[in-house]
Each structure stands twice: as C-alpha cells, then as structure tokens.
Amino acid sequence: MEETNLLLALRGKTVVITGASSGVGLATAEAFSKYGCKLVLAARGEEGLAIAEQRCRALGALVLTVPTDVSDYVAVQQLLSHALAFGGKIDYWINNAGVMASGRFEEIPIEVSHQVVKTNLLGYLNCAHAVLPIFRQQKFGVLVNNVSIGGFMPAPYSAVYSATKFGIKGMMECLQGEVSDEQHIHICNLYPQIQRSTGNMHSAKYSGLDFKVPPFAADPKDTAQQLLKLTVQPKKDKFPDFSSWAIKVVHDLFPKIVVNTASAGMRLMMKLKDAAPNGGNVLRPSNYPHRIYGETIIPVPSKTTKQALGFGMLLGVALVMLAGKKK
C-alpha cells in the first residue's frame, strides 16, 4: 500500500506487540510508530522496553509499556486491561514473543525445554484466548502471528522450538475456522525464514554450539513491514519473501535430504565449536543488546546479490521439479 493509504488506515489504531524489546518485535514497533498509532509494547525486561519506548516516541507514537511474561495467563490479562484502558479498544494484536534453545535434545535442561513450550506455544495461546473475546465484543480486530518457517519444517537440533511452531500453526489454523463467520475479525499467520536479528544472540545454546546468523538471513525490518501490512490487508497465511517460500518448497520436495543435511551441518559445528552452555533468554529477560540487528558470520551482501541468489534458487527448484516430471 502507498504511504498515504497506510497513514489513513493506521492513524489512531491501538496495537499490542509482544516481544517488542528487540529484534523483529522492536522493528515492528518502530514500523507502526510512523503512522500515528497507539502502541502497547510488551516484553519481560523493563530495560529493553524503556529503550523501545524512547525509540517509538521519537517516531511520533503514543506508547505504553507493560512488562509481561506471555507464558503467564494472569500477566497477559493484565496486559489486555492496560491496553484497553490506554486505547479504549484493541485494533491489532501482534503475537511475536518467542525463545529458542538449540543443541542435542537430551543435553538441553528439561526446565529450559519446558519454558520454550510455555513462552512460544502457551504464550500465543494465552494471548489469543485473552484478546479474541474483545474482538468479538467489538465486532472487529486482527490477530497477527509471527509463526516462522519452522511451522512447516523442523529447525535442526531445535526439537522443542520446532514442536512449538508446528503447534502454533495448527492452533491458529483451527481458530481461523472459528472466526470465519466474523466478517471483520481476522487471524493471520506469517512464516518468515531465519532473521538477521538479535534473536540468535539471545537464544539458548547447548552441545557446544556457538554460531552467528548467516549473512543471507532476512532483514527484520522487511519482516516487520509484512506484519504491519497484514493488519490492514488481512490474509490467513503469508510468506514474507521469496526465500521463505523457496525454503518451504525445497523441504516439501526433499524433506529427508533437507533435514539430514542441515542436521549434519549442525553436528559439524558442534565438533568445531566447544562453547560453554548458554541459557540465553529462555528463563530470564533478554540482556544487552536491545536492538533490531544481530551479528552475522560475514558482512551482509547487497540487495542485488541477494536477488541474484534468489533467482538462482528459483531456477534450481524449477529444474528439479521439471526433472521429476520427466521421470
């Protein structure tokens, strides 16, 4: 949509964003700030929320921060109450808060795995359960879920994280059916690939893993724009870019090859690296840095290079599919 149309559509809207203190969540908060929205920013850490509030106010938004652990349903209900008192209504709710633990399944402490489920799966469940009755009372509202490509394919050596993403996808698809008789209530799912955000820096790592984001990961600001656009142009399911869709297609064609190859790569990294276990932000709020972008293995390539690689991937997928039809 054109900027003028977005401004008309979004001005004065009340938007709740979870996981808003860094990464995609912070990028999303900043994206909405440019259109005169009333923002309710939620995350566990007060320090990160304070930085997010300052950045969004500088862009012209009215901001309320509510420290919230989405795995706690009482805390989510309090977030909802604060949001209603602040904005008088809730137009859009962005489910984004999430944590990740990587490593051999049996080497990740069970309390860490349990919390991944509580934050990711139960967090999205809690938020949906709290806000959908408000949407029904209002007769309008959009719930947007940042699900991840992990809703379609497993992340290597991240079994519990993968389970939560598959679970979110299934739960939200069912809820889409439940609100299908409500003309102005929508549930939208976005399936982005790995992000060049602080998410990896903050994640828990075990089994000697110590890795940085690959340079061809998606720009969190681009993903944030797609989350924003889903609020004004609701769509049940969306891939934010070509790469996310292509990864999903390749996995659909060669699931065992993709999973086994990715797992082999992770095993190699575990042999080459011998980092100390790091619990990350699973059991506690994210530490510094509270920013959008994380560290990459090598400098990020230009958009032209990314486009060339994207076309190369598309051509490769097309050739594979063509070869399969000839057999």
Dist. CA 242–CA 196, nearest whole Å = 16
Dist. CA 262–CA 306, nearest whole Å = 21
- HSE-up (13 A, CA, CB side) for residue 168: 39
161 is catalytic: yes
Residue from 157, 161, 191, 293 carrying the catalytic annotation? 161
Dist. CA 36–CA 48, nearest whole Å = 22
Dist. CA 90–CA 59, nearest whole Å = 21
DSSP letter at 214 equals -
**In this structure, are residues 197 and 190 in contact, taking their beta carbons and an 8 Å threshold?**
no
> Nearest CA to 80 among 127, 30, 136?
127
In Å, how far from its chain's centre is CA 34?
20
**In this structure, are residues 94 and 23 in contact, taking their beta carbons and an 8 Å threshold?**
no
> Nearest CA to 71 among 132, 127, 29, 109?
127
- Catalytic positions, written as ranges: 161
